[in-house]
Structure 1
């Protein structure tokens, strides 16, 4: 897949509450570690739509995005105090080993999934740390999200995560998306 980024001029689309039909806050929270003692990484945070949903339930969230413009817009909209923006590529995470208790990626896995980025994610998660990925599926109907040719399916996501050393906890294909939970 070719790497691409979301157009920051289109961020109003990212703030649309109908996005919850593809992934809800409750889904993320049931799979992620919660509590003030936990630090999470949001990979491909964009303008913070899902970051805002998770932040009240954990101690700290790093909102990672490759585009500084996304962070600027997030700050303007109002970034929670326990969220720290970080501009970096998912394949070169600027964090120490075992830094995070969990990580999540909502609708952005197709933009940065490589063997290198999955290995780096494994490195920065603490033992027992969970990663939750909900993304547009190549098996989906194609009625929303990027073109089907730019998407991965659940099986390919399993391979990426397994090859990096993760244990798959659960996974499912849905009408437009797949969801996968893995553990270090």
Structure 2
């Protein structure tokens, strides 16, 4: 894929009223069917857009993984501000998740898989840390063949994403386009 990484100076893009209107985190998280004791892993957690509301849905651990220390610092401030005891910050990348096998019941990958070097390697790691019957929520920007804007090269076509997930043993249980530019997949191991 790419080694493109999100610029932390543009943090306001990750959590603003327009994004919350288009992608209400609580509504999206309901698709994962997070159980009261489930362990959740938020890949590329950033400032906690999904990790923070996920922490209120479970008494289990919510692991917030990000490669960027500034993102983790900002999330740590929020965790302390809200006195959240079940969020655990992890520094690392998706192709080498610093967790044991079969540890997470639910995994969130929101607008982050297009940033990995190897999508198959990332999905292999997701499969490794996800428990049997676990669920993955993937939200990404659709790649359209006619687009020539440089930023579009960092997108993954939904057909490619579904193919890679299925090649790694995932079953697609939900697929939708919440906006014209975004697709959402819920896949079960």
**Fold agreement, TM-score > 0.5:** yes
Report runs of 4+ in structure 1 exceeding 4 Å deviation.
none
| Alpha-carbon distance change, 24 to 140 in structure 1, aligned in 2, over 3 angstroms | farther
Q: Per-residue displacement from partner, 1:39-85 (whole Å, max 9, x unpaired)?
A: 00001101112211222112221001111221012222445321111
Instruction: State the SS of the aligned residue for 1:19.
Output: helix
Q: Which residue is equivalent to 2:109? A: 105
Confirm or deny that 1:149 pairs with 2:153: yes
Contact kept? 1:33, 1:101, Cα under 8 Å? no
The runs of 5 or more residues in structure 2 that have no matched partner are: none
Match of 2:74 in 1: 73
Pairing 1:35–2:35 present: yes
Change (3 A) 1:141 1:106: farther
Contact conserved, 2:113 with 2:119, CA < 8 A, in 1? no
Aligned to 1:181: 186
Structural RMSD (CA): 2.1
Matches for 1:55-66 after TM superposition, within 5 Å = 55-58=55-58, 59-66=60-67
Q: CA deviation at 1:31?
A: 1.7
The answer as to whether partners of 1:23 and 1:134 remain within 8 angstroms in 2 is no
More strand by share: 1
Query: Quick one: distance in 1 between partners of 2:108 and 2:163?
Result: 17
* Counterpart secondary structure, 1:18: helix
Is the Cα–Cα contact under 8 Å of residues 140 and 177 in structure 1 kept in the other structure?
Answer: no
C-alpha distance 141-170 of structure 1, shift in aligned 2 (>3 A): farther
Is the 1:22–1:177 contact (alpha carbons within 8 Å) kept by the matching residues of 2? Answer: no
Answer yes or no: is 1:50 the counterpart of 2:54.
no
**Residue 166 of structure 2 is aligned to residue 162 of structure 1:** yes
Shift of 1:140: 10
Do the aligned residues in 2 keep the contact of 1:36 with 1:60 (CA within 8 Å)? no
Alignment coverage as a number of residue pairs: 181
Task: Give the conservation status (yes or no) of the 8 Å contact 1:103–1:131.
Answer: yes
Query: What CA distance in whole angstroms lies between the structure 1 residues aligned with 2:113 and 2:27?
Result: 17
